[in-house]
Amino acid sequence: MKKVAIVLSGCGVYDGAEIHEAVMLLYACQKEGAEVSFFAPDIEQADVVNHLDGSSAKGGRSVLVEAARIARGNIAPLSEFDPARFDAMFFAGGFGAAKNLCTFAFDGDGCSVNPDVERAVLGMADLGKPQGFVCISPAIAARVLGGRGVRLTIGTDASTASALEKMGAKHVNCAVDDYCFDEKLNVYSTPAYMLASNTVELFSGIFKMVSAALK
């Protein structure tokens, strides 16, 4: 049984992990027979958003504590992630990936990446193990692996693709039901809710990506 890590960035599309994408990743991994472990950085969220009306909400929230909602409490701080113990790693999308795991939502191509996230991505890359990035989370790969010329996709949005390429990545336009594969770096990516209008479209691309990464 392959061991897979899924990295979350909180809970909720506007300030954390996109819940549908996280669940689809979990389902796809388990359908492929993998044992899944959840991780998230033990940090405060960059902001808190009222998901009912999109307004800013008062008070801070913990990325790890909020992500535990999706993981049903079975989650560990990303600082404890050991690349040697896992066969693959996947990142769910959602604004949290671009706000909490990195600062792409605020800083664009000048963004920085959370140190634990960077260590995890580099650790898997150095071991040649597969990594999958969903929705906007390829921005993380672009920043961390852009110097290695990583190929990836966020779908077809030209402005976002341009920002990723400014970080050294090679962007590939991709349909919602497909994925991009960088054979050299063993990096997978799929547009998910960057293009999807429903969960059927969402699952198609995620499942294809996960199946290919875990074959």
What amino acid positions are annotated as catalytic residues? 135
φ, ψ dihedrals at 120, nearest 5°: -65, -45
Ordered DSSP codes for the chain: --EEEEE--SSSTTTS--HHHHHHHHHHHHHTT-EEEEEE-SSB-S--B-TTT--B-SS--BHHHHHHHHTTT-EEEGGG--GGG-SEEEE--SHHHHHTSB-HHHHGGG--B-HHHHHHHHHHHHTT--EEEETTTHHHHHHHHGGGT-EE---S-HHHHHHHHHTT-EE----TT--EEETTTTEEEE-GGGT-SSHHHHHHHHHHHHHHHH-
- Pairing relationship of beta strands 35-40 and 3-7 according to DSSP bridges: parallel
Residue located via tokens 């990142």: 91
Distance CA 43, CA 10 (A): 10
